[in-house]
Amino acid sequence: MPAKILDGAKIANDIRAEVAAEVRTLAAARVRPGLAVVLVGHNPASEIYVRGKVKASHEVGLFSEQHTPSETATTDDILSLIEDLNRRDEIDGILVQLPLPSQVDSKRVLMAVDPAKDVDGFHPINVGLLSTQRPGLVPCTPAGVMEILKRSDISIAGKDAVVVGRSDIVGKPAAMLLLNANATVTVCHSKTRDLPGVCRRADILIAALGRAGMITGDFVKPGATVIDVGMNKVTDPAVFQRLFGGLLYKNAKREEIFRAKGSTLVGDVHPEVAEVAGALTPVPGGVGPLTIAMLMYNTVKAATMRRGSSVPEPSRS
């Protein structure tokens, strides 16, 4: 029986509606949460992401502004901008779009963001708060993964969870969130021995390694829940054929789009996993939409925490 497809886009829309309602409540108290996005230079992919974040901010009623330093900006230039944003009370969240140009020290810049305004959840103080289960700002993509699981009524406590990938942005915080939710967690990486065997033990498998279609059917326990965090652009027809060739009868429309555009987005999970897993997030339309929704949520959370109150947790409806 094919896997149940977990609709991340619908869940993201639900969360954005909840955030918009909270923004309206705050407006009655004359508080309008504010988000500042810093985009250095002209990275086309980053520009697309930032446009989406700014658009979403306006849709839920946040105040937002975009800062676009030149691609020749120095570390000191960016640090000066961050210092100014830290001081401004109407700015509750600061997002520095990565990657930064090579001459800019990314670690120094991210460390300079006030942890109370760190809506990406990357600052070591927020990492520490997450690891000790104290209130703080949680990285958006892993937080979105947890929302998908909870809102899809997939139980976590007592389950074996495997996270493939150990990045500071996704893998590590996802593992910590699962551990905090009482899962038994294994984190895998390039040195893991018998990776397929380890993955096959998982009731919940999180793929976050950045390699198109690497997680194949033999990595997955029948009936497991598979969350695909990967977002990989495929332009090589041979790679497309490797991923979809055996299932083209189910992917005729996707092949048509690939031939017309010359590219397609695929996750880290091979399409054949849909024949093994019990539940699966698609790419696109799975985890991706949750990242921006949780950024909106974090901005409102930052606004309320900075003012000594708390924002309700997203509902589980």
Q: How far, in Å, are 55, 90, 122, 223, 270 from residue 274 at the CA level?
A: 33, 46, 33, 10, 8
Does 120 participate in catalysis according to the annotation?
A: yes
Of 98-102, 111-115, 296-300, the range with the lowest mean pLDDT is 98-102
In contact, 196 and 218? CB cutoff 8 Å: yes
| Rounded Cα–Cα distance for residues 96 and 43 (Å) | 13
Catalytic option among 97, 117, 203, 228 = 97
Query: Looking at the chain, which residues constitute the CATH 3.40.50.10860 domain(s)?
Result: 27-115
Catalytic option among 92, 114, 118, 120 = 120
pLDDT digits (tens, 9 = 90+) for 173-200: 999 999 999 999 999 998 999 999 999 9
Q: How far, in Å, are 94, 116, 300 from residue 304 at the CA level?
A: 15, 10, 6
pLDDT digits (tens, 9 = 90+) for 30-84: 999 999 999 999 888 888 888 989 999 999 999 999 999 999 999 999 999 999 9
Catalytic option among 53, 117, 159, 172 = 53
* Letter string b/e over residues 236-269, b meaning 16 or more CB atoms within 10 A of that residue's CB: eeeebeebbeeeeeebeebbeebeeeeebebbbb
User: What would be the CATH architecture of the domain defined by 140-231+267-289?
Assistant: 3-Layer(aba) Sandwich (3.40)
User: What would be the CATH architecture of the domain defined by 27-115?
Assistant: 3-Layer(aba) Sandwich (3.40)
For the entire predicted model, the pTM comes to 0.92
Does 103 participate in catalysis according to the annotation?
A: no
Query: Looking at the chain, which residues constitute the CATH 3.40.50.720 domain(s)?
Result: 140-231+267-289
pLDDT range class, residue 310, cuts 50, 70, 90: low
What is the average per-residue pLDDT within 225-246?
90
pLDDT range class, residue 209, cuts 50, 70, 90: very high
User: What average pLDDT is seen over the chain?
Assistant: 93
